[in-house]
DNA sequence: TCTAAAATTAGAACTATTCTAAATAGAGGG
DNA sequence: CCCTCTATTTAGAATAGTTCTAATTTTAGA
């Protein structure tokens, strides 16, 4: 089973997506989207920079950050922070979900929130607007030396 | 209901606690412990610095960080990071628990992990070693203007 | 073509933390 | 009591990740 299957979007698809959410589809933004909306798997800003540097003549780190903020505000991306790293991770999965950090590979794996039942009836005192869950673990199939 | 009732420890109690876990009870460490093991409610390094500056002649920020690491390694404290802040938060509650961020007050509130049931049977593929949960919410009793 | 607004950029600034290397303190042996 | 050894503390530099600033470039539209 794959973690997430994201068909690669064409440039036109990306232009449309951006227009749909009121974001001006500049060349830089399209380049960034080609990675974060398609190939990237929970990339960080520096991973995006590395990819973009190989596919776009010159694009500043400031634009990466500006664009990530624009896309997040527009609802095309989600930003996550986790205890194990000071960096922000960007996720194009817009469906509610949690994450598992595979401690062997360091990869983040999406966990459908519907597959976890969190009974929080205890919280009589509180209105809960949102919750984040992160699991730390590894594939059972993997065998250590 | 109080979030956590932590009786104030005497200096001798702190000295004993430190010795028990093999940590040399220096004046600086005792001063820091007086706050983090007692009065502090999920303090950050800078909050600890602010308190200590008022109760100890001169104590460097480096010592705060060194001591927090020492205490965390010794198992006297736990360090948490949350998505809403780049800072580390230190908690003297050593019992397994989750947190709720009260979005009105900005305070972190301990949630007994036993009061939440997380069914993770779905995770047939993974061995889960640890999980973190954070809720974002507010007191129901509070009424906005 | 002109203008105004939007986007991009390089580099400075900032925040939280860690590192470095020197100074100090404390324990134990003589 | 003095010496030495190690642990601890310290100030300040360094680092990492991100945001800010102000100048420049691009773009859309009149």
Task: Give the model's confidence band at A121: pLDDT under 50 very low, under 70 low, under 90 confident, else very high.
Answer: low
Which domains does chain B show, CATH number per domain?
Answer: 11-89 (1.10.10.10), 95-137 (3.30.1490)
- Two structure tokens written together for B26: 């220096």
B27-86 tens-digit pLDDT:
999 999 999 999 999 999 999 999 999 999 999 999 999 999 999 999 999 999 999 999
pLDDT surpasses 70 at A59:
yes
Interfacial B residues in 78-117 facing A (CB < 8 Å): 80-83, 86, 100, 102-103, 111-112, 115-117
Q: Which residues of B touch A130 (CB under 8 A)?
A: 135-137
Q: What pLDDT is recorded for position A65?
A: 98
pLDDT surpasses 80 at A120:
no
Q: Are A101 and B127 in contact (CB under 8 A)?
A: no
Name the more confident of A79 and A117: A79
């Amino acid at each position: 089973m794959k973690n997430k299957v994201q068909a690669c979007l064409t440039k036109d698809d990306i232009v449309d997506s951006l227009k749909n959410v009121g974001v001006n589809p500049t060349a830089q933004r399209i380049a960034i989207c080609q990675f974060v909306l398609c190939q990237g798997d929970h990339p960080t800003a520096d991973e995006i920079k590395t990819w973009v540097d190989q596919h776009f003549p010159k694009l500043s780190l400031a634009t990466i950050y500006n664009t990530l903020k624009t896309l997040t505000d527009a609802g095309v991306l989600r930003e996550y922070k986790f205890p194990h790293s000071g960096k922000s991770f960007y996720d194009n999965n817009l469906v509610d979900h949690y994450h598992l950090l595979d401690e062997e590979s360091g990869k983040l794996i999406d966990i459908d929130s519907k597959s976890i039942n969190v009974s929080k009836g205890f919280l009589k005192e509180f209105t809960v607007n949102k919750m984040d869950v992160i699991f730390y673990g590894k594939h059972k199939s993997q065998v250590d030396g």
